[in-house]
Structure 1
Amino acid sequence: MIIVTSGHVDHGKTAFLQALTGTHTAHLPEEKKRGMTIDLGYAYLPVGDKILGFIDVPGHEKFLANMLAGLGGIHYAMLIVAADEGMQAQTREHLAILRQLQLEEILLVITKADRASSTQIDELIQQMTADYAFLQGSPIFVTSATTQQGISELREFLTALPNLADPNKPFRYAIDRVFSIKGAGTVVTGTALSGSVNVDDELFLSQGEKVRIKNIHAQNQPTTQGVAGQRLALNLHSSLDREAIQRGDWLFEQAPPLPTDRLTVMLNAEIPLLENQAVHVYHATNHSLGKLSLLTTKTLSAQQSAYAEILLDKPLFLCFADKLILRSGDNKQLIAGAEVLEIHSPKRHKRSEVRLAFLRNLQQAENATARIALYLQEKAVDVKALLWQEQLNASALTDILTQNHAVRFQDWCFSTTYQAEKNQQILTALADYHQQHPDQVGLGKARLYRMVALNQPEKLIYHFIDALLAQGKLQQSRGWLHLPEHKIEFTPQEQALWKQVLAEFVAQNGQPLWVRDIANHLSLDETLMRNFLYKAGKLGYLTPIVKDRFFLTETLYRYAKIIKNSIEKQGDISVNQLRDELQFGRKLTVQLIEYFDRCGLLRRKGNVHVLRDGELFE
């Protein structure tokens, strides 16, 4: 477990930690030379079967970015205030930051008690709890590194604190240092925000590369496992140069998605805020410039909350409920804290009542089960996106889907309500098509998808169509989808004529025929023959590839199979390749391949054609 210590420069944090733990946290030559903490200093206190870790964060304003980097994944903090100097500028700023991070507990530690009277100390405590109401229930310890006053009592209190970091979530680790050790290679240090890691585990760097863990030091002790809430040094086995890994990178158990550059947060203002302004955003060991936009108000008073959107210049790896610190555009003033509600927020309708109601429900949801029910209300969501946003492992997601009576199909999760809605849209679209085109058999699967749910996952909509076919709510005739009640039939006289027409096509041995040629050969009126052939087309017996030029549909199926086999072998097919395969003239080959493009079997890509819907012509 890690506990952060913060406060004004020269208020005795480093000396206090040395008295508490026996370790001097200044580790850089420049720090020792200047007598102040510049970067993050660490000390460890073995107590029973656990080891407490302490971060000594910089107190000087110039080094505030380093102080913010020490606060990722922390649940407890000690605010250090010197008894003889009281509250100072950086004390107030650090306290504001700690409050905005919504830590579980902030301990007030008065140092240098030997340099002030008890009256001074009592007045200081009264002043602080009066000025900062949220400190009124905080534990208070009066200490002296010189006399050891209060040190043992504080140590006993800290030992009893529970570790609130979640070891059951996927491993997530913020890197704050990178260096090399002779004979060992690259070592990174940082804090484990969640999960656990073992020697020989494979993890993902935030750039996407895999690394293997060779050795682990947890809380400054060699071990075979590190867990959430610990300070870890990880020895990496990687083909990457040390320079390719830097402070601000991450190690993840899950393969990382694209980082976020547009997010929605619950904002807690430290000072009055305008509707739009530039900000500096701090998250764990990362920092980005951004633009803050209030969503529900034009202005926001200090200590008030509102929904807001942040657009980041540098995308960050964020998850639900991550804490952010926001500073002014000139980076001179703390302006707000924020809690992440949604990553990859929508670009449009962000202030609509429906959208704001969704955010309210999301904020009020008590757990991941309730939030996932909200995510799946009106859309299907990628499995990896759910696992990442809520930081879940696969088994936990399965349990949640079961509780919500939701469904997972391949890479997508959805609710039964969503499926019922899409099913109805599919059936309605076909009913409308039949009404508008009563002489057509139906639609191909790819075209039906484009009509009904173009922005939804294609494989998922195809899965819904297959389920409707299995249930008998849809039927498929020669590849065309239609409602069961939609029928086109020949009359007995037309059936007799069809036998004559079929004989003409069979005699052509795979070649198409024009309406005029068949009419002349059978000595029939051309208009009557045209109407008959198009009806045969609607029944699926014939197919016009251009106006008045027909193939036997079964012949087209044979040619479609030839095309699919060719594409399977080489990835695409050209007009010249198909011409050589079928021994057609170029004009007929162009007509044929353009027909396959129009019906959705193929898609033109430059000078070649690739497969679009392989299930057509099956």
Structure 2
Amino acid sequence: MHVVATAGHVDHGKSTLVRALTGMEPDRLDEERRRGLTIDLGFVWTDISGRSFAFVDVPGHQRFVPTMLAGVGPVAAVLFVVAADEGWQNQSSEHLAALDAFGVRHGVLAVTKADRADPAPVLASALDRITPTSLGRVPAVAVSGRTGAGLAALRAELAALGDRLPHPDRDADVRLWVDRSFSVRGAGTVVTGTLGAGTLSVGDDLELGRSGRRYPVRGLQSLGRDHDTVEAVARVAVNLRGLDHRDVGRGDALLAPGAWRHTRELDVRLRGEKTENLHRDLVAHVGAAAVPCRVRPLGTDLARLTLARELPLRAGDRGLLRDPGEHSVPAGFDVLDPRPPALRRRGAARARAAELAGDDPADAYVRRHGAVAITELHALGWTVPGARVGRWAVADELPRRLATRVAELVSDWRERHPLSAGLPVESLRHTLDVPEELLDAALADTGLTVRDGVVADPTRTPRLPESVERAVRAVERRLAREPFAAPEAGDLAEVGLGPKHLAAAERAGRLLRIADGVVLAPGALDEAVRVLTGLPEPFTVSQARRALGTTRRVAVPLLERLDAEGRTRRASDGTRTLRRPHT
């Protein structure tokens, strides 16, 4: 489907023309038909050369320009209408300025009422005005809605226009700007809009604007027919379950859940008047929304807009600024940054303009935050500008700075807690406040390891405090004389060795704990195997105890340790044999 909006001065025959093209009545309201004046948006459709064309018929009167903008805003193509008997008029200029500000690039010029006056001069004059705008040189046709003259040529040009229109992204996140909402007896609330990208299906959930409330899609219609799925581009009517039609209106947006971010402040690049020439209080139009805004100049063509209410916007979105007091559209705008930094300091606006002029806004955003979830960048309209770590886009210098900071924190912890196994990883994560994937990458860059929940340097031999060193040496001397005469708990306490000290000595490779409060020299296991080799097999715990010259307090955990390491084998009767290398 192709969706085309009309544009042009009041009473130049827009509604008559689409009525002649489609055979449908675009004026829905009794007042519109009684006065012969389009007041609200009208929607009609037809097939041209085997393809569906939907027309959004907009009002041409100056009082209804906001309504016209709501119809044109979400649409990529226009049927621009100028009457041969009146020629170019004020609303022709305002509508063209709006199309140029929105950046509409596809259209057809129709000079209507060709049965009343020679269309050639008006056609030439209109093309001269349209060509310098975003529309460029458009095809032009002289027609008469009353006699039908020129309609075949206009249909041919519309078919060619359809060939030129860009292909929509049907996998894009849905953002449906609402242009009508009403209630249908027995069905509930129905909203309509132009689906410019994405796909809608019955059963989908849609979020309503900033409320974040989700409503299931109960039914879909397009061009008067029910559908299970509607793909962009399309005019679509959406029946929503659980939504009161009074809670949704023109300018609201139905959104793919979780895919969009709302903003009240955005940095933009202007197209049209220079920033300093704009009034400070204007109305911003994006999609079908019209929101009062405050304009803060940043540079010649750069400005910050502060909206009266939040809108779901992304970088790359286009809109326009309207001055209702002067009945003019002084500028269009392109969204550069929908989440700009605060401007608090003197000179901040000037610095921000320099940043926008010389930098990629996405890159600057990532640098400001250090690390940004890739899904968040997507929701703001950006791709990953540089480095990524897992699910995160990261500032180029962040991994290096993070690795340096991790090393500093681990070193500081070691100095302050010499008996500790290392810096608890949760403490490190809390201090750095970074995602787990970034912390893992930083640890890999430093060569540090995480074991049993603490971060340590595997290349560094732990150094014991002097008091602990003296106590460990005393134990070492005792064990050198009697390798399996492990000191009693009281002996260890007497020399000042508690559980933390013993754990630190073991990490330093100075002692071997085989059970709580039972420590031997690091080579005790090898020495035990050497001694046990001299016993007949199988041997009992008592035999092993006597051979080792120790007590059951030591012998039992020592043998269990040898079992665990596969150096002895315990039988069901409690006896043991040594495991030989070939067994």
Verify same fold: TM over 0.5. yes
- Shift, 1:201, TM fit: 2.6
Q: Does 1:425 align with 2:399?
A: no
* Residue pair 1:427, 1:483 contacting (<8 A) in 2 also: no
3-state SS, counterpart of residue 157 of structure 1: helix
Q: Does 1:188 align with 2:179?
A: no
Write the distance in 2 (CA, Å) between the matches of 1:169 and 1:135. 25
Structure 1 counterpart of 2:268: 265
3-state SS, counterpart of residue 334 of structure 1: strand
- Shift, 1:106, TM fit: 3.1
- Shift, 1:146, TM fit: 1.8
What pairs up with 1:112-511 in 2 under 5 angstroms?
112-118=113-119, 120-121=121-122, 124-125=125-126, 128=129, 132=132, 137-160=137-160, 161-162=162-163, 163-164=165-166, 165-206=168-209, 207-236=211-240, 238-270=241-273, 273-274=276-277, 277-297=280-300, 306-328=301-323, 330=325, 332-348=327-343, 351=349, 356-357=354-355, 360-362=358-360, 379-390=370-381, 406-409=388-391, 412-414=392-394, 418-431=398-411, 433=412, 443-445=423-425, 448-449=428-429, 453-454=432-433, 458=434, 460=435, 462-467=436-441, 473-475=447-449, 481-484=455-458, 485=460, 487-490=462-465, 492-495=469-472
- Shift, 1:53, TM fit: 0.6
Write the distance in 2 (CA, Å) between the matches of 1:488 and 1:126. 86
* Count of equivalent residues: 486
Q: Letter of the aligned partner of 1:267 in structure 2?
A: L
> Residues 125 and 97 (structure 1 numbering): CA distance in 2 closer, same or farther, change over 3 Å?
closer
> Residues 377 and 345 (structure 1 numbering): CA distance in 2 closer, same or farther, change over 3 Å?
closer
Write the distance in 1 (CA, Å) between the matches of 2:235 and 2:452. 64
Q: Letter of the aligned partner of 1:406 in structure 2?
A: R
Q: Deviations over 1:341-360 (max 9, x none)?
A: 22111114864768744565
- Shift, 1:260, TM fit: 0.6
Write the distance in 2 (CA, Å) between the matches of 1:105 and 1:505. 92
Write the distance in 1 (CA, Å) between the matches of 2:252 and 2:475. 71
3-state SS, counterpart of residue 87 of structure 1: coil
Write the distance in 1 (CA, Å) between the matches of 2:353 and 2:372. 17
Q: Deviations over 1:462-497 (max 9, x none)?
A: 444345556772256886545453733145423268
Write the distance in 2 (CA, Å) between the matches of 1:167 and 1:357. 34
- Shift, 1:229, TM fit: 1.9
Q: Letter of the aligned partner of 1:209 in structure 2?
A: R
Q: Letter of the aligned partner of 1:381 in structure 2?
A: V
Write the distance in 2 (CA, Å) between the matches of 1:477 and 1:166. 47
* Residue pair 1:477, 1:540 contacting (<8 A) in 2 also: no
> Residues 204 and 112 (structure 1 numbering): CA distance in 2 closer, same or farther, change over 3 Å?
same
Q: Does 1:79 align with 2:70?
A: no
> Residues 439 and 296 (structure 1 numbering): CA distance in 2 closer, same or farther, change over 3 Å?
farther
- Shift, 1:405, TM fit: 7.0
Write the distance in 2 (CA, Å) between the matches of 1:260 and 1:143. 45
Q: Deviations over 1:214-263 (max 9, x none)?
A: 32211333333212121101122x22333233332222223255511111
* Residue pair 1:341, 1:362 contacting (<8 A) in 2 also: no
* Residue pair 2:74, 2:288 contacting (<8 A) in 1 also: no
Q: Letter of the aligned partner of 2:331 in structure 1?
A: A
The share of aligned pairs that are identical, in percent, is: 28
Write the distance in 2 (CA, Å) between the matches of 1:104 and 1:219. 25
Write the distance in 2 (CA, Å) between the matches of 1:140 and 1:127. 12
Q: Letter of the aligned partner of 1:488 in structure 2?
A: R
Write the distance in 2 (CA, Å) between the matches of 1:199 and 1:272. 45
- Shift, 1:204, TM fit: 2.5
Q: Letter of the aligned partner of 1:422 in structure 2?
A: L
Runs of 5+ consecutive residues of structure 1 not aligned to the other structure: 298-305, 364-370, 392-399, 508-521, 542-553, 555-618
Write the distance in 2 (CA, Å) between the matches of 1:81 and 1:242. 37
- Shift, 1:155, TM fit: 0.9
3-state SS, counterpart of residue 46 of structure 2: strand
Write the distance in 2 (CA, Å) between the matches of 1:200 and 1:42. 25
Q: Letter of the aligned partner of 1:380 in structure 2?
A: A
> Residues 81 and 268 (structure 1 numbering): CA distance in 2 closer, same or farther, change over 3 Å?
same
User: What TM-score, normalized to structure 1?
Assistant: 0.68
> Residues 69 and 468 (structure 1 numbering): CA distance in 2 closer, same or farther, change over 3 Å?
closer
Write the distance in 2 (CA, Å) between the matches of 1:498 and 1:478. 27
- Shift, 1:407, TM fit: 3.5
What pairs up with 1:39-54 in 2 under 5 angstroms?
39-54=40-55
**Alignment RMSD, CA only?**
3.9
Q: Letter of the aligned partner of 1:249 in structure 2?
A: D
